[in-house]
Amino acid sequence: MAKKRAKRSIIQVAKSASTRALIKKLIRYAKPYGSKILLGFLCMIVVAATTAASAKLMKPIINDIFLGRKEEMLLPITGLIFLVFFLKGLFTYGESVLMAFVGHRVIADVQKDFFNVLIQADLKFYQKRQTGDLVSRFMNDVGRLNNAVTGTLSSIGKDFLTLIFFIIVMFDEDWQLASVVFFILPIAILPVIIIGRKMRKTSTKVQEHTSDLTILLTQAFQGVRLVKSYCMEAYEKSKMSEVIENVFERTLKGVRTKAVSHPVMEFLGGIAIAVVILYGGSEVIKGTHTPGAFFTFITALIMSYEPLKRLANLNANLQEQLAAADRVFTLMAHKNEIIEQPDAKDLIVTKGSVTFKEVNFSYDDEKDNQPVLQHISLTLKPGQRAALVGPSGGGKSTLMNLIPRFFDVNSGVITVDAQDIRNVTLDSLRHAVALVSQEVVLFDDTIAANIAFGRPGASLEDIIKAAKAAAAHDFIKSLPKGYETFVGEQGMRLSGGQRQRLSIARAFLKNAPVLLMDEPTSALDSESEEKIQSALELLMKGRTTLTIAHRLATVRSADVIYVLEDGVITDRGSHETLLKTSKRYQQLSRIQFQEAPSPQDSA
């Protein structure tokens, strides 16, 4: 039992520390807008004062107008009522606009910083996370921070100040009765505080299931062609229905937990009001209190009930928002593994040679993890055309990804023109490398913008020149809007060959000295492949090129071919040399070319 209490105590301390840390982060984002928050608080003071004044006016209304029948008081009191409500409306508008500005400004600032973290994150970060989850955190969870800021400030400011002014009014009318009332009402806050502690856990679960919903939705839309081709609509509906039900159940659980406070507060509030009517009514009957004083007191009491409820629910509401903040700030605290050295210098490319020296790599640093690449040593000479061949999963794509430093080696060195790539700036390194892949990435923008993606300031003349070199100009000009044609999400409005030619045009425009190609023609028809192969020949001219070959026919003309199997280079040489010396290459060649066995193999 003692151990359980100690464990529970440790958890509570940890949660308190976490809550304080999250609140500090939110305050840091709100701090630049302190002047607007201050103005908002000044508006809240006026709103709170005028709200309390409206209750205080009940006394002269009852005593002087309805009971005293003082005609001369009618105009001043009605004028005062108008002034009070006019000021309340005016300053409520000011407070609402100012707090909305602060809340939405904080959201915008957090989203900017969050996106900066996401876009700068290394590829390993994305390998461990799903796109839908990131989108959910960016949109849904960040959006909840608005309430965490504005809701909290409004409750602390307007509701708290309003309650203070009402307390002043009530104590001014009858301090003994006010003391009794405020002995009862704080008891109502206790269950609300207890409920608030449960809300953060419940809210976190809701947000996790909402994230699952976003993930499933993203996958369904991205794979809609596959879903339809395999007639899996019913299956996707079933999965989506299950996730939606999970979100519904978790949300309802949160609502039920939060709603428990309402009957408790209503019951205790009813007791307080009943006590006031019982005591105050008897005092009015005895003649020790005026009806106006009684109505002022009970009006102030009833009007103080709503701000008191909001303040009591503040913790529960805040815990909901902090659960979202925790999901956001956890990712924002991500530290990249791929970082520049403090003294990193720009890469100076004079020739374009690339060298691997005893490179070892695995995707995780655990000692028992199977290495993906082992003892890789190779040199790509300036202007040389090299190729990587071998079975799937052998490490070809991984090796290529090490050159632009998408990942860091575990040991060994990679150099470009004798400069260790870990000692140069990432921008200068990646500007020196162009990538053309079979999986073309196009953005929902114009053709011109997609070609110029690596050079945003490129002129239309340069873009057209690159398109002509990539054999893309003719099909672009045949489109109604030419280079201003929007390609759709992932270039869905274009054919596979057209998308690939835009990718090649992008590489032409970048004009990098080192070219990496993950066989861009492997998924194309023969006509498209012929056009693109001609464009690639022109693109490779004068550039150090490394190509991943899935079909040996595309690399016969390579200067050197590396056979990569299980992360190890087993053979190297030209196509003709490897046909004579490499059994593995001979095997690959027979499968693809149906060539006769070499004499050595026959022997």
pLDDT of residue 10: 35
Whole-number average pLDDT of the chain: 83
- Specify burial of residue 16 (Cβ count, 10 A radius: 0-12, 13-18, 19+): exposed
Mean pLDDT of 83-110: 92
pLDDT of residue 5: 46
- Structural tokens at position 222: 């991205």
Answer yes or no: are the C-beta atoms of 64 and 73 closer than 8 Å. Answer: yes
Least confident of 173-187, 346-360, 361-375, 516-530: 516-530
Percent of the chain with pLDDT over 70: 89
The answer to whether residue 93 scores a pLDDT higher than 80 is: yes
The answer to whether residue 100 scores a pLDDT higher than 50 is: yes
| Measured CA distances, 25 to 30, 385, 413 (Å) | 9, 52, 40
Mean pLDDT of 499-503: 89
pLDDT band at 590 (very low <50, low <70, confident <90, very high): confident
pLDDT tens by residue, 154-169 = 888 888 899 899 989 9
- Structural tokens at position 199: 């809300």
The answer to whether residue 1 scores a pLDDT higher than 60 is: no
> What's the CATH superfamily of 22-332?
ABC transporter type 1, transmembrane domain (1.20.1560.10)
pLDDT of residue 17: 57
DSSP character string of 413-480: EEEETTEEGGGB-HHHHHHTEEEEESS----SSBHHHHHGGG-TT--HHHHHHHHHHTT-HHHHHTST
SS (HEC) of 491-511: HCCCCHHHHHHHHHHHHHHHC
pLDDT band at 186 (very low <50, low <70, confident <90, very high): low
pLDDT of residue 249: 84
pLDDT band at 12 (very low <50, low <70, confident <90, very high): very low
pLDDT tens by residue, 383-437 = 999 999 988 888 999 999 999 999 999 999 999 999 999 999 999 999 999 998 8
pLDDT of residue 599: 40
* Spatial separation of the C-alpha atoms in residues 538 and 471, rounded to whole Å: 10
SS3 47: helix
pLDDT band at 14 (very low <50, low <70, confident <90, very high): very low
Who has greater pLDDT, 357 or 206?
357
pLDDT of residue 91: 95
Who has greater pLDDT, 258 or 288?
288
pLDDT of residue 600: 42
418 closest CA partner among 344, 358, 349: 349
Beta bridge partners of 389: 563
- Structural tokens at position 291: 């009806």
| Distance in Å from the first CA to the final CA of the chain | 79
The answer to whether residue 200 scores a pLDDT higher than 70 is: no
Mean pLDDT of 478-498: 88
Mean pLDDT of 439-456: 88
Domain boundaries, the chain: 22-332
pLDDT of residue 522: 61
- Specify burial of residue 222 (Cβ count, 10 A radius: 0-12, 13-18, 19+): middle
pTM for the predicted model, two decimal places: 0.79
Q: How many CB atoms lie within 10 A of CB 374?
A: 18
DSSP character string of 149-197: IIIHHHIIIIIHHHHHHHHHHHHHH-HHHHHHHHHHHHHHHHHHHHHHH
pLDDT band at 525 (very low <50, low <70, confident <90, very high): low
Percent of the chain with pLDDT over 90: 34
pLDDT tens by residue, 298-325 = 888 888 888 887 887 777 778 778 888 8
pLDDT of residue 411: 93
Answer yes or no: are the C-beta atoms of 162 and 307 closer than 8 Å. Answer: yes
